[in-house]
A and B are shown apart, each in its own frame.
Chain A
């Protein structure tokens, strides 16, 4: 059945359903009309048959009466010789005329099937009537023959009339039985059609309800699954067509979009959580880093205060050394605070770049000199390769370059023990290439990916093992970008790291603030 075909849309199903019901209804109406027509035809046939029978009867009686009259008159003429007056003759002729008319009407009632019988009756009756008319018109003429007493013609006419009547009756019976058959047939068809219409309608309704219900059930199941959070579930779109399929597809799309949105929210939340955790870790590290120099400053100051209260001579050299330690720790603290401020400025976009002409090679030398105490802390050796041309000149920010070198250099010292730290510079096609290499602990590929991120160190425990806040490299990377250059890293675990900075000699091309 068509409705079983689930690829039909709901609208198409409803149309098909309506068309089917209307067709059945039309068939019922047509059958009913056919039955009504047969009934009315049966009525007409009955009426015709009754009229024909009546006419035959009238004609029979009329002929009987006319014959009696003719026989009486013939007897009278033979016995009395009394002439027939005009009035009497006219009346008799009118009677004969009436008989002719009746004969004509009987002919009009008959059809082709009775034509032969009627024709024979007509010929016989016409001959009889002409015989009688002749009798009447010759009545007053003396010596006229009067063959009217012979019953041959009359009996012949009577016989013909009888035959016609029988024929008509036979045809009427035949016709009425045909019509009755038709009526019975249409009645049966009407009843069967009606019952079939009811049955088919019920079947169609049930199928329609079932198919619509199963479609809606699939949608409902899907929406319930979506509602309970199962956004990977998909409603089977291909089991339906048209608007239900559209609806299923829309639900599926909605579910997909919801899943994407939830995923985005979750990943945004995870990112925010990670950033938050990194900030907390950073704060803890900053706190740790601030406390280490503060411990020395406060400790030495308190100790000096205590020692000043001791009796006896003051060891001036010792005091001088202790004060130096306090000052160094104070500077360390200041450097740390400056780093945090720098990073804050970079993050809020307030870091200024002040460009000027300067010579980078002496600047690098100066930084290495100043940081030589860091070298000896872990017994490292410095190797300088500043190229042949130490008169390279560049237009950039010397303060930032100094900080870049300082951070890279102190990093190298921090992560290397008993090793060689190699600082080299050269100019290449309008770029200053500066690299700081060490043969220290190095980094794995995964660590290298994160090492330039703010607040990140190679490992969570790096801060506790080696000190530092994880800010130095982030600042270096941001400064390189601000100066129109870049920093690259080559490293392998346990084999050391090599940071290479590439800066344009002619200064950043455009918008230095956009770091």
Chain B
């Protein structure tokens, strides 16, 4: 696997168990991972750390994922950062909403991890 070592990902997830799990797996895959547990923290860290890509859960306290994605896409400083939405909602309408809100891609829980890695690499390469 050709992997851009040292790329920094922001993982936004409020469920501790799932956040810890994904963080460990992404780190094993060679990425630097910072994390946030709610929508406001996510926006703050996007501004502060300028990650290369954001993995964004939708069901978040304080500000939900749709709002975060919309605000990021309207923010000149943030709109170049690609966002992959992560959600346990599996309806077609959710996928459309994700793309409409400014997310670049979409992954459904339970996460198919190899597929998620492909999506990350694809977005980082483009």
Contact = CB atoms under 8 A, between A and B. Distances in A.
B88 A287 contact: yes
Contacts of B25: 299, 302-303, 306
Contact of A295 (B64, B89, B109): B109
Interface residues of B, number: 21
Interface in B29-65: 58-59, 61, 64
Contact of B111 (A284, A287, A299, A306): A299
Interface stretch (B15-23, B70-78, B97-105): B15-23
A464 B64 contact: yes
A297 B15 CA distance: 13
A300 interface: yes
B32 to A, nearest CB: 18
B88 A299 contact: no
A288 B89 contact: yes
Given A292-B18, A325-B17, A464-B64, A303 B24 contact: yes
Interface residues of A, number: 23
Contacts of A298: 110-111
Nearest to B25: A303
Contacts of A288: 59, 88-89
B90 A299 contact: no
A299 B21 contact: yes
A92 B113 CA distance: 172
Given A288-B88, A300-B21, A303-B21, A294 B110 contact: yes
B28 interface: yes
Contact of A291 (B17, B24, B110, B113): B110
Contacts of A329: 17
A299 B110 contact: yes
A251 B22 CA distance: 72
A284 B88 CA distance: 9
A296 interface: yes
B111 A295 contact: yes
Contacts of B15: 292, 296
A238 interface: no
B125 interface: no
Contacts of B18: 292, 295-296, 299
B21 A287 contact: no
Most buried by B among A295, A328, A329, A461: A295
A465 interface: yes
Contacts, number: 60
Interface in B91-125: 91, 108-111, 113
B59 A291 contact: no
Contacts of A299: 18, 21-22, 25, 110-111, 113
A509 to B, nearest CB: 44
A329 B113 CA distance: 18
Interface in A158-215: none
Contacts of B58: 464
Nearest to A377: B16
Contacts of B64: 461, 464-465
Nearest to A299: B21
Nearest to B62: A465
Given A291-B110, A302-B113, A464-B64, A296 B89 contact: no
A288 B87 CA distance: 8
Nearest to A300: B21
Nearest to B17: A296
B89 A287 contact: yes
A292 B90 contact: no
Given A299-B22, A299-B25, A303-B24, A294 B59 contact: no
B89 A284 contact: yes
A288 B94 CA distance: 12
Contacts of B88: 287-289, 291-292, 295
B93 to A, nearest CB: 10
Interface string A362-392: 0000000000000000000000000000000
Contacts of B91: 284
Contacts of A303: 21, 24-25, 28
Nearest to B109: A295
Contacts of A302: 25, 113
A465 B63 CA distance: 10
Contacts of A295: 18, 88, 109-111
- 10 closest A-B pairs by CB: A291-B88, A295-B109, A295-B110, A288-B88, A299-B21, A298-B110, A464-B59, A291-B109, A294-B110, A296-B17
Given A284-B89, A287-B89, 15 more contacts: A288-B59, A289-B88, A291-B88, A292-B15, A292-B88, A295-B110, A295-B111, A299-B21, A299-B25, A303-B24, A303-B28, A306-B25, A328-B17, A461-B64, A464-B59
Interface of B: 15, 17-18, 21-22, 24-25, 28, 58-59, 61, 64, 88-91, 108-111, 113
24 contacts: A284-B91, A287-B88, A287-B89, A288-B88, A288-B89, A289-B88, A291-B88, A291-B108, A291-B110, A294-B110, A295-B18, A295-B88, A295-B110, A295-B111, A296-B15, A296-B18, A299-B21, A299-B22, A299-B113, A303-B24, A303-B28, A325-B17, A464-B58, A465-B59
